[in-house]
Amino acid sequence: MSLAVSAIPTCFKRTTTPRHKRRVPRNTVLNKDKLWDLPVPYVLDETLALNAKGIILQAFEQFRLKSCVNFKPRGSEYHFISAQKNRGCSSHVGRSSKYGQPLSIGNYCDHIGIVEHEFLHALGIWHEQSRYDRDEYVTIVWKNIRRGHERNFVKVSPHYSTTLGFPYDYSSVLHYSETSFSKGEGPTIITKQPEYQKIIGQRLEMSPQDALMLNKLYGCKKSISFMEHCNFDNQRLCGMSRCTKSFVGGWKRRKTVIGGPYSDFTNLGKTDSTGFFMHASTASGQEGDTARLESREMTPSRKCSVQCLQFYYYHSGNESDQLNVWMRVYRDERNPNGTLHHMGQITGSPGSHWMPYHVPLTATKTFQVEFEVRKGAGQSTGGFSIDDINLSETECPHHTWQIKDFENLLTTSDINTVVYSPRYYSPEGYAYQIAIYLREMLFGVYVRLVSGKYDDQLQWPYHHRQVTIQLLDQNPHTQQRMSKQISITTEPSLQDDYDSWNNPRKVGMLENRGDKSFYVNPAVGYLKFLTLTQLKHREFLKGGNIFFLITMQDISSLHFNNSLPCPKWSPQNLIINPNNRDEGPCATKRTLCVY
């Protein structure tokens, strides 16, 4: 099978700006006139590749999730950022010019970490290794720097910049790598703490400290889209309420449960775990008994009525037991109990691992989330456990793919062994698969179209869609994560006689896999997605498992617009007890919590 392969560059290309006019980013600006009024106006220039436009909008969502900085399409503002495709990846530092301050996302720059890097410059933050105190943390090897690039490593005086009181951040997305601007004879930067030598230069996402520094620079703390996090380590349970119907015990706060889980998810893999999770046993009681855990009330504030609830669950009960997720919406005071909506359900065979679960929500008014465990017909020796709840005003991923015992699989499999995901469907009904190419010390990630059950009803070729494949950093707090992701857009082929995004039944090859046969197109992706060393830097591996979060999005409107329409939500076909009756919220008195 032929493969269309793209490689991630190891360095950025130089810009066409004359050397004497180039800005050398250092740390944060002292001149407050260099800061932007919020939200920051922007324009996506027509020169940008469609894939780059989509990634810029993804980066904006990360800024909204992790910081108080927001962006908006330009109206009539004089000061705005004009994202363009020039040579390389570059930006001015802080607000510097009217009528469209250029920010370049050129060839090979369309990766979320690189885009965040450039926008952090535009917002007023300079490179980490240019701090005036950097010599306490790194050594610059001047003899290894390419001639003419020494200026990139000059420190900035404290008279012109500030660290805002933050410690040196080896993990900053604004730090150079160990070989930046090297002439090929060794590293240009050596960390004083050797364990950070391979960490500097990461382009996953902005670090937690990058976000904190940005908030302090702009004098604000409140995130635009983040709403709630709860790991149950506090006895107050994040303000949640419990109630039961005929259940013995209901939801309980536990450190461990006989039969699993044996640890909370927050501290999974740590020998000194002292964390807690919530557990509702189905080992006793009658069929139909319920235990409910109800969040405090929250009010959405963004234009699109879209929220994503993410949590980890452990199912150790009977296959007929259910964990239902409800959303109670309070539209007005005439209905004090609100209206209950069934949004998600977990049932079926029990497992032996903590699993992530995402539930799209669509609240337009003040709402609560309810976790309901419902006992099924069969015998049970366990129940349901949940931990590390995160709620934000963002879109949920479409699919989650788990690969168990991944490190062993990677290091013991034959070179170029391929692991395929299940067949997934886009919101429009197009079928596709993710493929992982194992190469012992690193692995590649690809996507391919495959034949599906709706092919004869769809329009072909399948162009202007962006598939995003994210290897989840399993940090329990969504604002602390630095996941690894790639995005690939289904652009028309440059070849006249073939298109990887056409109907697989017409242009693909028939493939037999087990007892199934289907047509497949060539895969498109990245040969070097992540190395084994990089895999261990964050919490990508937890309990031996990795998870890919996958989204396929229509971004065709970015050809003519600077933003995308609000996502659409399709109701799921969920089965519950037909005699289910809403008995109102657990708490007897509603307390409005606005975020």
Contact 223/64 with Cβ under 8 angstroms?
yes
Contact 265/312 with Cβ under 8 angstroms?
yes
CA distance 191 to 197: 5
Token pair belonging to 540: 């990508």
Q: Which of 372, 424, 390 is nearest to 307 (CA)?
A: 390
341 annotated among ligand-binding-site residues = no
Active site residue 118: yes
Buried b (16+ CB within 10 A) or exposed e, 166-186: bebbbbbbbbbbbbbbbeeee
537 annotated among ligand-binding-site residues = no
Tokens 């044996």, residue? Answer: 262
Q: Which of 61, 77, 118, 372 is catalytic?
A: 118
CA distance 121 to 59: 14
Distances (CA, A) of 530 to 8, 98, 417, 488, 533: 10, 40, 16, 16, 8
Read off the DSSP letter of residue 166.
Answer: P
> What's the angle, vertex CA 462, arms to CA 458 and CA 464, rounded to 5?
130
Residue 381: partners with Cβ closer than 8 Å, 6 or more residues away: 259, 283, 316, 317
CA distance 323 to 538: 30
342 annotated among ligand-binding-site residues = no
* Angle separating helix axes 112-123 and 50-66, nearest 10 degrees: 60
From the CB of residue 357, how many other CB atoms can be counted at a distance below 10 Å? 16
Contact 525/5 with Cβ under 8 angstroms?
yes
Q: Burial level of 495, CB count in 10 A (0-12/13-18/19+)?
A: exposed
Residue 245: partners with Cβ closer than 8 Å, 6 or more residues away: 289, 290, 291, 292, 583
CA distance 209 to 345: 36
Q: In this structure, are strands 101-105 and 81-84 parallel, antiparallel, or unpaired?
A: parallel
Q: In this structure, are strands 339-346 and 322-330 parallel, antiparallel, or unpaired?
A: antiparallel
Q: Which residues are annotated as a binding site for Zn(2+)?
A: 117, 121, 127
Question: Which residues define the annotated binding site?
Answer: 117, 121, 127
- Give the residue numbers marked as catalytic: 118
